[in-house]
Amino acid sequence: MDEKSPLEAVQEVLKGSPERGFKETIEVSFNLKDLDLTLPKNRVEDEVTLPKGRGRPVKVGVFGSPELVTKIKGTADLTVLPDQMDTYFKDKHASRKQVDAIDFFLAEAPYMPTIGKRLGTVLGPRGKMPKPIPPGTDPTPTIQSLKRTVRVRNKGKKTFHVPVGTRDMSPEDLAQNLQAVLDRVVGKLERGRNNIGSVYLKTTMGKSVRIW
C-alpha cells in the first residue's frame, strides 16, 4: 500500500468527511506490532508540543504558593493554594471532577510528596500527575507550552490515538502537527517504524485514512 504524506492524509480526511455541527477533533491512530507491551520499556508515554497548537482550549492547573499564583494570574486555569489543598484533597468527588476538567497540572516541588500521597490515586491513572517546578520560578512559559501539548499514552495497548488538531485548522497546520506526533512516536519505539503495523488519520466521526 502506498504511503501518504501528512498533508496528503489530512487533505483526504477533510475531503471525505462532511462537516458536522460541532468542532471535530482530528486524530492519528497507531497500531503497534512486535512489542512485548508487558515490559515498561515498550510502553509509550510522552508529551508532544504541537507546532500549530491544539485548535481548542487546553486547561492547566497549578498547585503553588501565593507568590507563584500571583505570577501566573490569568495564565493558569486553576490554582490551588496551600490553605486550599487540604479541602481539595478531602473532597475526592469534587477533586475528581476538577481533575477531569484540567488537561495538565504543575506543582511547586515541595508540595509534590503530599500531592502524590493524597491525590495520586486520582491523578495517576489519568496520567495527570503534576510536573514539578522549582520554588520561586515563573512557570508562565511552561504553561503556555502545555496549552499546545498533547499527551501520548498507549496504556499498555497495541492501538492508541493522539489528537493533532481540530477540523477548523488549515490542512498545512494539521500536517505539521501530525508530523510532530509521528516523529515522536517513531522515536520512542525500540525499532522505530518497524514496530508500527499501521497508522490512520480520521476526524471524530469521519472515515479513517491510512497513512502507513
Check whether 1 has a pLDDT greater than 70: no
pLDDT at residue number 117: 86
Rounded-to-integer distance, Cα 19 and Cα 167, Å: 8
- The residues facing 153 across adjacent strands are 45
Burial, 132: exposed, middle or buried (Cβ in 10 Å; 0-12, 13-18, 19+)?
Answer: middle
User: Rounded mean pLDDT of the chain?
Assistant: 91
Check whether 120 has a pLDDT greater than 90: no
Burial, 191: exposed, middle or buried (Cβ in 10 Å; 0-12, 13-18, 19+)?
Answer: exposed
Delineate the domains of the chain, giving CATH numbers in brackets: 6-55+150-210 (3.30.190.20), 60-146 (3.40.50.790)
pTM to 2 decimal places? 0.85
What pLDDT digit, counting tens, does each position of 147-176 carry?
999 999 888 899 999 999 999 999 999 999
Query: Which own/partner contact pairs does 81-87 have at CB distance under 8 Å and 24+ positions apart?
Result: 82/111, 85/111, 85/114, 85/115, 85/118
pLDDT at residue number 55: 94
- State phi, psi for 99 to the nearest 5 degrees: -60, -40
User: Mean per-residue pLDDT for 184-204?
Assistant: 93
CB 99 within 8 A of CB 122: yes
The cell 520554588 sits on which residue?
A: 135
pLDDT at residue number 141: 94
What pLDDT digit, counting tens, does each position of 49-107 carry?
999 999 999 999 999 999 998 989 889 999 989 888 877 777 777 778 888 899 999 99
